[in-house]
Homo-oligomer: A and B are copies of this chain.
Amino acid sequence: MAGFTQLFVPGPTNVPEVVRQAMNMPMEDMRAPDYPSFTRGLFTDLMKVFRNETGRVFIFPSSGTGAWESAITNTLNPGDRVLMSRFGQFSHLWVDMAERFGLDVDVVDVEWGTGVPVEIYTERLAKDKEHRIKAVFVTHNETATGVTSDVAAVRAALNAAKHPALLFVDGVSSVGSIDFRQEEWGVDLAVSGSQKGFMLPPGLGFLSVSQKALAAAVAAKHHRCYFSFEDQIRANDTGFFPYTPAVQLLRGLRAALDLIQEEGLERIFERHNRLATGVRKAVDAWGLHVCAKEPKWHSDTVSAILVPEGIDSADVVRRAYHGYQTSLGVGLNKVAGKVFRIGHLGWVNEVMMCGAISAAEMALRDCGVKVQPGSGVGAALEHYRLSAQPAVAKAA
C-alpha cells in the first residue's frame, strides 16, 4: 500500500527525525575512553525529566517491564506486604509480577475506567499502624483504559498516616508527557520506558529512584543480577555499564533529551493536554464516550474509546490498519472488543491527530458505527485552532 503508515498506538510512539538521524550510526565501543563523557550527560538529563533531584536513574537494555522487575527485586523481599490497585491490563500485569516475586499483595480492585482509589489507600495506610505495608504502588497512567491517577494524593495519604512505605510509580506512559514530579511527590521508584514520551524505539527501561529506595536496596535480599542496582551503580559511577548497553538507543536518547529540553516540560505537558482535549472533543462529537469515567481520570496520553453495543472494537482497529494504514490500539483484557485506543503522546501534533481521528471515522463507519463524517475531526481541529499559539480566531 502507498503512503506512510500512521502510528497512533500508545507506544511505540513516533520517533522524531533528529532522533532517527542520531540512531543512523555505525557501531561504537562502549568501553571507549571518552564514552563516560557521553553517558554522564544522559544520566543528568534523564533525572531532569523525572524531576528527580537527589536520587539517581538507571538505564537498562530492556522494556519497561524489566524496570518494573528491577524496582521490585532491588527494594523488596519475598513476603513483603504491598498495597496495589488494579483497573486495567497494565496495573493487572504489575500485580501479577509482584505476586510472582512472592510479595504479599493487598490488591484493591476498582472499576476499569477509574484509577488509584486514594480513599481506600488512605484508609489502609491509616490502619497499618505496624507499618507492615512496605510499598504502595501507583499506576500513574493506565495505558489500557486511558486513566490517569493522582500520585500527589497518594503521597499526601502516606504523609497523613506518617507511613514509611516506599512509593512505587509506573510512569511508563506518563513520564515526559504529563506532569510528573518525583522529588516533590516523594516518589521512590518511578519506572518508564524509551518508547512512549521519550520518543525512542523500544529497548530501554528507565528506573528513577530516590535515596530512600537506594537505601532499601542495600537491605533487600532478592536474587538479582541483570537488574541489580549495585552492579549498575558500580559501573555507572565510572561512566560505564555492567554489561553491553544498547549503544544505538543511547545515542537516540541523547537526541531525544535535547528535544525535550528544547521544548520544555511545561510546554510538552500543555501540548499533550491540547491534543488530548481535541481527541476527546471528537469523541463527544461522535456521540461516543471514553473509557475513563470522569474528567478527573482523563489521560492526556491515550484515549480508550468505547464502541457501541454490538460492535467489536477489534474490527475497527483491523479496518483502520488494513483499510487506511493506520495503527490504533486494541482493547486489552476486560475491555477487549469494547474499546479502541488512540495514542496521543510523544512526537505528535495537530495535523497528525486530525489524521488519526479521520482514520477512526472511516473505520468506525466501515464497521457500522453511525458517526457523522467529519464531525470528530471538525471538533478537534477547531479546538486546536482556537487553542493555538498565537491565538487566532477569525472565522469563529
Contact = CB atoms under 8 A, between A and B. Distances in A.
B368 A373 contact: no
Interface stretch (A131-139, A153-161, A220-228): A220-228
Nearest to A391: B366
A357 to B, nearest CB: 8
A362 B384 contact: yes
A17 B12 contact: no
Contact of A244 (B31, B195, B321): B195
A7 interface: yes
B350 A366 contact: no
A56 interface: no
Contacts of A26: 4-5, 7, 14-15, 17, 20
A6 interface: yes
The 7 closest A-B pairs by CB, nearest first: A374-B378, A3-B349, A354-B358, A374-B374, A365-B395, A29-B327, A373-B378
B247 A388 contact: no
Contacts of A359: 350-351, 354
Contacts of A242: 65
6 contacts: A2-B347, A21-B21, A65-B226, A226-B226, A350-B359, A366-B394
Nearest to A11: B244
Interface residues of A, number: 113
A378 B377 contact: yes
Interface in A224-264: 224-227, 242-249, 263
A127 interface: no
B12 A351 contact: no
A252 to B, nearest CB: 9
Contacts of A384: 324, 362
Given A12-B27, A12-B244, A378 B381 contact: no
Nearest to A395: B365
A352 interface: yes
A86 interface: no
Contact of A9 (B7, B11, B31): B31
Nearest to A358: B354
Contacts of A62: 61-62, 66, 226
Given A26-B14, A201-B248, A226-B65, A377 B354 contact: yes
Interface string A9-44: 101111111001111111111111100000000000
Interface string A287-331: 000000000000000000000000000000011011111110110
A6 B351 contact: yes
A385 to B, nearest CB: 5
A379 interface: yes
A318 B33 contact: yes
A354 B394 CA distance: 23
